Structure 1
């Protein structure tokens, strides 16, 4: 099935694809020729999708999923994942009151905030990434997918497994993959928390961040990161993020503390999440 997912231009597909490419998990995600592909699962039913740019103001979706009744829900998820409904003009008007943000917006006017296909998957990936590099976290995620994910038959190259179900992860000894036991317990605990509260990662939930912070091993950075990419809170802001601090320091040519960043970010409300994405992207451009 092929569908066009429209958006209000501009849209910086190269930045979105670059973000996803760096974090692509072997066996579950693939990037080739400007197209992102991955396996998906819903209620025990598995499939795949591929998505890429078109000449029109839309992304082209190729969906292979056996349950036709699930298509509207899948499309809604993908619109959130690729931030297709963002009102960038309104966001930019607010952020551009800060001259630094105005300059960054001019450099990347179509920058969106990458989202996630699945809340549990994002939370697991965020916890795996605590205190290690992105590359190391992705390798661990790949081991987890192959070890605990369901096998998938797909004609798309590189897509061999689906991300594990919460029931599997809740009962697994994930530390055996090569991580501290405390982190393995946190991962299993997050999976169990989702089983106890199926709405845990529901976008737009009023108390979403508080519920995440109540989980063992989930601190403010992780909760805010999940809020930004899964709960789709535009003002979510992981203020202690080393990358954000480094980016602001580089842009302003001076030392910056986590407190400095948090105070500066007050001017970016209620779109601090989009300001964070602009800062992260500026850092990758300068490296």
Structure 2
């Protein structure tokens, strides 16, 4: 279920005469509190919740905030930390924010509805540093964790497909802990074609797969570098493997030989960044 699926259209129970009854009677526009209407967000709305996700979005001049909902405690903290809301926040109760989210979501008193960030294209990416390419990794928690690691290693962009990838909103944004504002997402229709374009622009494309022919630590890497990660279980798709310059594996010394994809990503980033001299 996506974040948008949790915004059911409101079915008003109306009295004779057309006026909503009981709890469906909402304050008019401009009310100070209590007007947190449960409604379906627009298709392109990005839902951000949690302290880091929302405050970094507020600090990002490229992010357009449509609505901001805050509890009294969260608003007080924003003021104490001199964080400008940018839009007039609507003060609501914690349970009113929770009602818009999944039961296990930790919102910390903040929820924002925003526009998507401007998305670069393959031909506008800087031919330097590292980019991450994700081959049908669908778990938003994993992609969020990868995004957070990408921000830590100053990754230039994450390339993913329009299909078979999570929406850049909600759970993913929360798992990324604000990194969504720091690492651009490039969405492509065909991953093999995108890898070919990266290679034409000089990128060294290195796939990561348990069946790789070489140990990643032994691969000679050069900048700009594209590290390609596949989904857990399936790994890299055949055409993706064939398009990469090299497909390597992570040799682990312990009894468990495989890692969660987000953990594999951070290890691959460290190895790649070390070989390129980006970390000391």
Q: TM-score when scaled to structure 2?
A: 0.26
Q: TM-score when scaled to structure 1?
A: 0.26
